[in-house]
Structure 1
């Protein structure tokens, strides 16, 4: 394969990032019009054994699983077994929220677009409890969530019962507020099960993976038998104030939330899967969903921030005046992944790594910039300055906490008359780019945050990443 002009500089950039972040292994693969045009492995699937990576090495894909779940829903809609506008309680009569009227109004569409009105909840940790308890590297996480881990959430019924007992405030009426919800996607698995009459995993296997020819895509690596072309998992931890990357065997699992993020796959398989979105429903000679269903999946149903929207299990945002970027990331212990499709250019891509919190946004942006002839570190989007009154800035400070265990502090820097965002020991200046919206730059990637107010004007939450985090103090 002839080296393109951009490949050498891009690969040097990737190697620098891999070294800086101590990523043990990664593979990056791109196809144009369904034909593989670029593949490159970096590092090792097993650092200690120096085992190589190829297109068929199995990695975790985390939350990219969510798009498979939405694809299954669209198939069932085509068969007349459900509608995305059906109330959730039609299929899950035990589902409850803190507001009975809202419970009745939440539809499958609201689940698929993260607009059911849930703030981030702590359900995922007890849903993974047995695998966490078997993992020595999870001790700190288990200690942090000790109060939530009295009982595992093993079934869909357990998950609904857990949500019903949780004290939390809804973000707003269904359809009005975007906040990423693993619980919603876990329960989409239950809806697929009830509507199809098959276990969620079996449905995905029979109706998506097999027709596409994704022979090395599984929920459990044990399904691959004696095959050893599977990555070792690595995780980062602090030891004596120094960050180190340690070997962390053992895949985390959550039976009640597999539909939210527990598939494993390969670069070759994922390019085949991404083709469904490039072609409007086709891959490997099979029609997986109709053109209309594909269009619904990639439609920007809800605005996430000034640049990003969300479809069904996919992020949707402009990459330039000419191109749309369809994408989703995934992350869990021992994995960080990103899939992307640029439909107008016929381009699909997948990036897989074997460490959590790898710099996947930098890798993806660098790849896209390189392929489309832009400087390596050009941002996804740019925003003009926006004037904000001093009195408004002074309302924003506080600590914003997520039920998933994250905390962000906002401070007002008197000397600079500006807000700063504090993440652990890192402090980032905030630049106003819109009403209630600010930008900060971390690891050379621009990210947006938004303050969410009560109708009377008081700031009550922070939209950070894809989650709305309530103000604690």
Structure 2
């Protein structure tokens, strides 16, 4: 194969993973001694070195388990699990194990919004305020008049008016559950709707459309727009109109508590640390101190910006049905794929990429590379559609810096660069 490099190295900006809730580190992380690392799934000729590099990186970053899968020209040619889904019981990760995907959820929500556009129920430049007028702020709270300027496009592109990183007072309301609930007199933990009511009583940080600032909250609002215009719960609409038509039948919105985990869902860890470390106050009143990855934030309220649980296989099923390529057939029209990925605010330091509607996009090679990352306490993921016909996804059950993704990306393209003949099989039918 003539090697065509589509690496993201140097372009996976910090915001690409959403920089979800952080937890204070109270002791240094030391990767555990790990002599064995099981590998599941069918190997691909020429990628033995890549398999080993994945295992090496997981040891380096103290990650118990992960899964990586690769598509070429719409066919799943590689899907493997590495390490442990349950480290205590030595349960290996299967290639189609389920993981929290955090902000990799945003492309899913974007596709659902495009389905409403396709149905004629919504325009991307429609104002948001009338669509969520039923969500009232706390009694006596003053609503910033700039709410009336916010459009669907602003929310999709992170230009709605909220800046969680502003100096002296920036915050992400999606992880202020107790504060939001108390502010509007609603039950804790705060639902997605409660957080919107709370934020309606807070001033915007900038005029809508004038600045790019990554906003989980904007995608929270998009989830409620989907509910109001479809007449269906967010998860039901997305599964019915986006995921199931793409064959991604096992992808669901996750649950906060470990006891409510989905069948085949991995356990979540901290790099080199035990399951129950660090401990934080639970978002559920009266539950006391809990592991941050199982109660430090309310996963259900993050549904439309970070709440989905999926597998590498399901995510590639979704991606290959919205990627603008001929096979398999997309669930969106070419016009809507172009709307979803065609323009946005420049975000990469070198000016080579922009954030479109739920995707970072870097034009090149007569096409474009799209990607999105995700981070929560206990999980890290990355979904990539390259400009040269490949797509890949990696999911891990512990957090890690973006250097892991950069190194994994480099290892993958190095492995592909020496392959002269690719498999003709399609493994999608091998998985549920």
- Please, what TM-score do these two structures have when normalized by structure 2? 0.71
**Structural RMSD (CA):** 3.3
Deviation at 1:257, TM superposition (A): 3.0
Q: Say whether the 8 Å CA contact 2:159–2:208 is kept in structure 1.
A: yes
**Which of 315, 319, 341 is the aligned partner of 1:298?**
341
Which residue of structure 2 lines up, in the alignment, with residue 126 of structure 1? 176
1:60 aligned onto 2:100: yes
1:12 aligned onto 2:52:
yes
- In 2, the alpha carbon distance for the partners of 1:2 and 1:158 equals 47
Q: Is the 8 A contact 1:327 1:339 kept in 2?
A: yes
Deviation at 1:43, TM superposition (A): 1.0
* CA deviation string 1:164-205 (max 9, x = no partner): 333x5623x222211111111001011111111111111112
Question: How far, CA to CA, are the matches of 1:52 and 1:41 in structure 2?
Answer: 8
Asked if 1:154 is matched to 2:154, the reply is no
- Give the aligned partner of residue 218 of structure 1: 252
Shift of the 179–281 alpha-carbon distance from structure 1 to 2, 3 Å rule, reads farther
How far residue 322 of structure 1 moved from its aligned partner, in angstroms, is 5.8
Q: C-alpha displacement at 1:17, in angstroms? A: 1.8
Give the corresponding residue for 2:396.
353
Alignment partner of 2:120 out of 69, 72, 80: 80
Q: Which residue of 1 aligns with 2:155?
A: 111
Instruction: Select 1:233's aligned residue among 251, 268, 279.
Output: 268
Alpha-carbon separation, structure 1, partners of 2:183 and 2:352: 35
Partner of 2:312: 267
Partner of 2:27: none
Could you say which structure has the larger radius of gyration?
1
Q: What residue in structure 2 maps to residue 423 of structure 1?
A: none
Contact 1:277 1:341 in 2 (8 A): no
For 1:69 and 1:112, how far apart are their aligned partners in 2?
A: 9
2:234: which partner in 1? Answer: 200
1:363 positional shift: 4.5
Equivalence for 1:289: 332
Contact 1:98 1:170 in 2 (8 A): no
**Structure 1 counterpart SS, 2:252:** coil
* Structure 2 SS opposite 1:331: strand
Shift of 1:317: 1.6
The 2-side partners of 1:12 and 1:356 are apart by 20
User: Which of 81, 85, 89 matches 1:41?
Assistant: 81
- 1:250 maps to which residue? 294
Report SS of the residue matched to 1:40: strand
Structure 1 segment 441-456 matched on structure 2, within 5 A = none
Aligned: 1:333 with 2:377: yes
Aligned 8 A contact 2:224 2:234 in 1: yes
Provide the rounded CA distance (Å) in 1 between the counterparts of 2:417 and 2:209.
Answer: 38
Correspondence 1:369 to 2:413? yes
* 1:367–1:317 distance in 2 versus 1, CA, 3 Å: farther
Query: How many residues are treated as equivalent by the alignment?
Result: 345
**Partner Cα distance (1:2, 1:63) in 2:** 29
Flag structure 2 segments of 5+ consecutive residues without an equivalent. Answer: 1-41, 165-170, 277-290, 419-432
CA deviations over 1:134-158 (Å, ceiling 9, x no partner): xxxxxxxx9xx99999973633442
Higher relative CO (Cα under 8 Å, sequence separation at least 6) belongs to: 2
For the pair 1:184 / 2:184, whether they are aligned, the reply is no
Greater strand share, structure number: 1
Quote how far apart the aligned CAs of 1:95 are. 7.5
Q: 1:322 to 1:373 in 2, by over 3 A?
A: farther
Aligned to 2:205: 170
SS at match of 1:63: helix
Partner deviation per Cα, 1:351-400 (whole Å, 9 max, x = no partner): 010012355422442245325639xxxxxxxxxxxxxxxxxxxxxxxxxx
The answer to whether the 8 Å contact 2:379/2:395 transfers is: yes
